[in-house]
Structure 1
Amino acid sequence: MKQTDYLIFGSGVAGLTFAIKIAMHFPDKNVTIITKSNADESNTKYAQGGIAVVLNQIEDNFQKHINDTLICGDGLCKKDVVEMVVKEGPKCVQELIDWGTQFDKNETGSYDLGKEGGHSYHRVIHHKDQTGFEIERAILKQAHLQKNITILDFHFGLELLIENNKCFGSTVLNEKTNEIITFLANQTLLATGGIGQIYGHTTNPEVATGDGIAMANRANANIKDVEFIQFHPTALYNADLKSTFLISEAVRGFGAILRDKNGKRFMFDYDARGELASRDIVSQSIEKELKISGEDSVFLDCTHLEINAFKKHFPMIYERCKDLNIFIETDWIPVIPAQHYLCGGIEVDTNGKTSVENLFACGECSYTGLHGANRLASNSLLEALVYSDRIFNYLKTNSNFLPGKKSFGSEIIQQENNFDKNKKMSKIRTKLQNLMQKNVGIVRNNNDLNRTLRELIILQNDIKLLESKNHISKELYELKNMIDVSILIVNQSLQRTLNCGSFYKV
């Protein structure tokens, strides 16, 4: 049994920025970060586009950003939250800059602001097409400078320790030794990112298995609006449907055109904004085109763009396409919608507090009300920055520290390892991903949802059986979490009757 003052799950922008601030403010307190892979592996790392933030108040202003967010959220945003995040954003972005994050500038020395779908003005601050990678680099370096932050990589959160609706920490699996450790904590923060791996085709990394949401759900925290799942319109298409490479929204903002196989520019048939419509509309439009044509993909045409400027803005995208013998100067890029972002999650208030005392959530695993039914492009990193700052400011004056060690026994007991389980787990995972991809995607219907729910419950029982007979592993618990979150998504999809934003049911 170990004790820490602050226990954080996740090493992306949400978890790390909170850790840095709380560690600097309380230099005599211990901050422990649990991350199930390398410390730099997170959804943040793969964010290409940037951060939507008002930095030029001559042509842009807070109200325009607020309006764009509300329009994109299709009536389900919390207006007070939108106003708060937009107005507090510039201060939080400046902190990233102060910590060494490098954002692109133009010839005049001003920040080179991009424009993405749903935005009325150029306001996306970025580092080429690798913004998340640059942010992760800078904040991880800053975290390592804090002597009271301990980062435990290859450790995996299992179950939150709950008593009388209060969180006292969590059980954690050391993936290298297979030891289960009980971590007692005064405050626990879930910043575990997204749920993409429950789908067969996603832009999310391998670590995005919905762990924080599943842990919170088993602790009876409120989970809200997980039926609102954003599909990115333009993931690079591969025949095996396993590519997770994203062709950034900013490429369309830069002037790229969507075409069908015959070269027709189809987006204006669906929306007056064409390629710059919000992601839900572009994704649904591509889905309709593919159903009409029977083709596997549509195409993103960049051949008319100035190639040197493209290479400067999107070097990673250019090189990845080139590696696949797609030459942007002459070739169209095959693209298809892929699961990208979860708009709902663990319900929190404006201080990041969940319905369980001493338990906080931040970033993609949380539901704040900012995104409503559909996230405005590049608002996600902004939300993570503002809410990690809100949680820090709340706990700066509201941290209650436990007087010594509390007795807390773990209910998890390691079984003998059964090496035959891996094949069974692989089959369950593939079946889950196929079910969700086919029946709980861009367009849903109640018959498919009900059938999927029945099959998911069978898979859940299969996992319970494996869990009772086998050594606990990260892979087994990830699969358990993926199924638990999938059931939440299907149930909330069945409950929602009106289509809006990223939710569409026929």
Structure 2
Amino acid sequence: MADVDADVIIIGSGAAGLTAALTLAPRLKVVVLAKSNISSGSTAWAQGGIAAVLEPGDTFESHIDDTMTAGAGLNNRDAVEFVVENAPAVIERLADLGVPFNPGEAGGERWHLTQEGGHSHRRIVHVDDATGMAVQQALEAAAAAHPNIHLVPDMVAIDLITGRHQDSPAADPRRVWGVYACDRETGHVRRFTGRATVLATGGASRAYLYSTNTRGSTGDGIAMAWRAGCRVSNMEFNQFHPTCLYHPEVKNFLITEAMRGEGAVLKRPTDGSRFMPDFDPRGELAPRDIVARAIDHEIKRLGLDFVHLDISHKPADFITGHFPTIHKRLLDLGIDITREPIPVVPAAHYTCGGVLIDLAGRTDLPGLYAAGEVSQSGLHGANRLASNSLLECLVFGQAAAADILANWSGLEPTPSIREWDESRVTDSDEEVVVHHNWREIRRFMWDYVGIVRTTKRLERALHRVALLRSEVQEYYSNFRVTPDLIELRNLIDVADLIVRSALSRKESRGLHYTLDYPETLARGEDTILPPAPAK
């Protein structure tokens, strides 16, 4: 397949990427790259819903306050206000695209709203317990039907194309012109170029042994942007979802926050007693970081493999009506949630840090935008409030596209870009090295950079990162790229960014908890790491 030049290149086909594409498409030609199939990203797996002020008595200020409280005072208030105030409009846009949000009761509110941990009101609009899938399907159908949007699956992004890849010595080395990507089908590298590029690649939770994310969440966009010259911020704030199913046959099935919002309680398997009231007066509705640490504490204290999440005290028709997807999936595994509790453990779920952006989605590099989990917009601070993630994707995907449109006349045409050079590499005959190192990274990140940290553990992790980086770089320099090798290289970079960010924070705040600095400082500041040294 040939190289492609378009007006705008979007890397990622989830809510952020497709929202940007649909906003741009009336005027520009857009190419959307997906790492696997178009629906393979994290959006489709989001169970809970989207937060927005839609209920009488609720206010923007309340949603802002809840977001700031969950973020442990590290949020950028301007970003929080921007997202919260745009939330109702993006919900309307999704409804116009055909997202079948659960309706409210006759004569009442337009949509059924649920409540989740950290929220002071019922403000979560949803589609049963599979909101992300409904959103993905609606956005994808609209994008596939638009003549100006070209959806390209099975493209594994390698590196951003910058002025360094031009033949002109006068080229701006920081200007971004697209991306080199490995075609899974052919194994060859293709150039995708455009006047503007949008990163919508998601987070980095697969850097950990246990994760709720799909296999593709390897921090590709964060690593590529950092290598190209972007600053990266707050990577120490890794959100661990408190309730991931513990089951030998299923490794990444999460149990939505909304279940606790509808009355599910956490219990010790040893005696069936609740434990969350011992940790926080909000009980099961405390923010995720508190709930995850409480579960981790009980598991370690009692020597357990899991704790129980129990909603069986609710009527069976209530449970199956609110959580049909979870009910069916667990029933297939022999767990009837209308009669028995669910075994759960925390698992890496969301990357609150990422590539620094402003309110228009602009990064440090000319021509490069970012939206969604790949970015650090200031919305989440030190901890993401439940159901603000899809919201961020929708608001910033639209904002980035709006800024590209507003400044289109000032964006110069794409220059001549060099082809990817494979003349000095060979095919690898030792793929076992890649797979072994992948497993090693995820294990030491879980053991040393998990829910509870210490300086000694973090220093051990940093040492392991340095050794693996040297080994992987040598491998990368001598063999043709493969999807697994690309992901491994990116995992090394994001693991390094996470560990160095965690070591630099001399306090416990939000999702970062260290036994060596258990107190929270009076004034919180973002952790900002400079870009990789230019090569």
Could you state the TM-score of these two structures normalised by the residue count of structure 1?
Answer: 0.96
- Matched ranges for 1:32-181 at <5 A: 32-56=31-55, 58-108=56-106, 110-163=110-163, 164=172, 165-181=174-190
Q: Which moved more, 1:165-174 or 1:44-53?
A: 165-174
Q: Assess, with a 3 A threshold, how the Cα gap between structure 1 residues 412 and 362 changes in structure 2: closer, same or farther.
A: farther
Aligned equivalents of 1:101, 1:412: Cα separation in 2 = 44
Shift of 1:135: 0.3
Deviation at 1:402, TM superposition (A): 6.0
Q: Per-residue CA shift, 1:355-380, capped at 9, x if unaligned?
A: 01110000000000000000000001
Kept after mapping to 2: 8 A contact 1:15/1:191: yes
For residues 413-434 of structure 1, the C-alpha deviation after alignment (integer angstroms, 9 at most, x for no partner) is: 2666545322111111111110
Question: C-alpha distance in 2, partners of 1:399/1:448?
Answer: 48
Q: What's 2:259 paired with? A: 251
Q: Is the 8 A contact 1:13 1:385 kept in 2?
A: yes
CA distance in 1, matches of 2:440, 2:390: 32
Distance 1:383 1:420, change over 3 A: same
CA contact (8 A) 2:319 2:338 kept: no
More off after superposition, 396-405 vs 462-471: 396-405
- Relative to 1, partners in 2 of residues 1:412 and 1:455: Cα closer, same or farther, differing over 3 Å? farther
CA–CA separation in structure 1 for the residues paired with 2:392 and 2:497:
23
Q: Distance in 2 between matches of 1:430 and 1:405?
A: 40
Contact 1:192–1:212 at 8 Å: present in 2 too? yes
* Greater CA drift, 388-397 or 480-489: 388-397
The corresponding residue for 2:357 is 348
Q: Structure 2 matches for 1:455-494, cutoff 5 A?
A: 455-494=464-503
CA distance in 1, matches of 2:21, 2:112: 29
Which of these residues, 430, 435, 440, is aligned with residue 431 of structure 1?
Answer: 440
> Once the two structures are superposed, what CA deviation does each residue of 1:228-272 show, in whole Å capped at 9, x if it has no partner?
0110000001247x6100000000011011001111100000000
- 1:469 CA displacement: 2.4
Task: Tell me the alpha carbon deviations over residues 159-211 of structure 1, each in whole angstroms, 9 at most, x when there is no partner.
Answer: 11222321111212211112212222100000001112111100001111110
For 1:154 and 1:485, the matched residues in 2 are separated by 22
Structure 1 residue 272 and structure 2 residue 281: aligned?
yes
Which residue in 2 is equivalent to 1:237? 246
Letter of the 1:215 partner, please give it. Answer: M
Q: Do structure 1's residue 361 and structure 2's residue 360 form an aligned pair?
A: no
Q: Aligned partners of 2:423 and 2:374: how far apart in 1?
A: 28
* Structure 1 partner of 2:4: 2
SS of equivalent to 2:116 = coil
Indicate the SS of the match to 1:247. Answer: coil
Deviation of the 1:410 alpha carbon:
4.1
In structure 1, stretches of 5+ residues that fail to align are none
Equivalence for 1:19? 21
Q: Deviations over 1:66-91 (max 9, x none)?
A: 11111111110111111111011111
Distance 1:410 1:223, change over 3 A: farther
1:338 partner amino acid: A
Name the CA distance, whole Å, in 1 between partners of 2:187 and 2:406.
37
Which digits, 9 at most, give the CA deviation of each residue in 1:10-67, with x for residues without a partner?
000000011011002x0xx3201111100111110000000000112x2211111111
Give the 3 Å change call, closer, same or farther, for CA 186–195 of structure 1 in structure 2. same
Deviations 1:131-182 (A, max 9, x none): 0000000010000111011111001211112223211112122111122122
Q: Judge which range, 419-428 or 152-161, deviates more.
A: 419-428
Q: Report which stretch shifted further, 458-467 or 261-270.
A: 458-467
Cα root mean square deviation, aligned: 1.4
Partner of 2:221: 212
**3-state SS of the aligned residue for 2:100?**
coil
Q: Give runs of ≥4 in structure 1 deviating > 4 Å.
A: 400-405, 414-417
Q: 1:117·1:278 contact (CA, 8 Å) conserved in 2?
A: yes
Write out aligned runs for 1:330-345 (5 A).
Answer: 330-345=339-354
Q: Which amino acid aligns with 1:312?
A: G
Partner SS for 1:234? strand
- Mapped contact 2:190–2:420 kept (Cα < 8 A): no
Kept in 2, the 8 Å contact 1:345–1:367? The answer is: yes
Measured in 2, the distance between the counterparts of 1:401 and 1:462 equals 43
Q: Deviation at 1:2?
A: 3.1
Higher mean displacement: 271-280 or 386-395: 386-395
Pairing of 1:404-443 with structure 2 (within 5 A): 405-410=414-419, 412-413=421-422, 417-443=426-452
DSSP-derived class of the 2:346 partner: strand
* Residue 505 of structure 1: aligned partner: 514
Q: Which moved more, 1:34-43 or 1:174-183?
A: 174-183
Shift of 1:441: 0.7
Unmatched segments (≥5 aa) in structure 2: 164-171, 516-535
> Do the aligned partners of 1:414 and 1:471 also contact (CA within 8 Å) in 2?
no
Mapped contact 1:169–1:183 kept (Cα < 8 A): yes
Distance 2:234 2:105 in 1: 43
Stretch deviating more after TM superposition (413-422 or 305-314): 413-422
Deviation at residue 392 of structure 1 after TM alignment: 2.0
Q: Secondary structure at the match of 2:440?
A: helix
Give the corresponding residue for 2:308: 299
SS of equivalent to 1:381: helix
Letter in 2 for 1:495: S
Q: Secondary structure at the match of 1:122?
A: coil
Work out the CA distance in 2 between the residues paired with 1:260 and 1:130.
28
8 Å contact from structure 1 (residues 5, 401) kept in 2: no
Render the CA deviation track for 1:414-468: whole Å, top value 9, x for unaligned: 6665453221111111111101111111011111111111111111122112212
Matching residue's letter, 2:95: I
- TM-score by length of structure 2 reads 0.91
Matches within 5 A, 1:280-295: 280-295=289-304
Tell me the SS of whatever aligns to 1:363. coil
Percent identical: 40
Q: 1 CA distance for matches of 2:365 and 2:477? A: 28
Question: C-alpha separation between the residues in 1 aligned to 2:196 and 2:10?
Answer: 9
Which residue type is aligned with residue 464 of structure 1?
Q
C-alpha separation in 1, matches of 2:337 and 2:375: 37
Aligned to 2:532: none
- Are the aligned partners of 2:72 and 2:381 in contact in 1 as well (CA < 8 Å)? yes
Q: Which moved more, 1:8-17 or 1:381-390?
A: 381-390
Aligned residues: 501
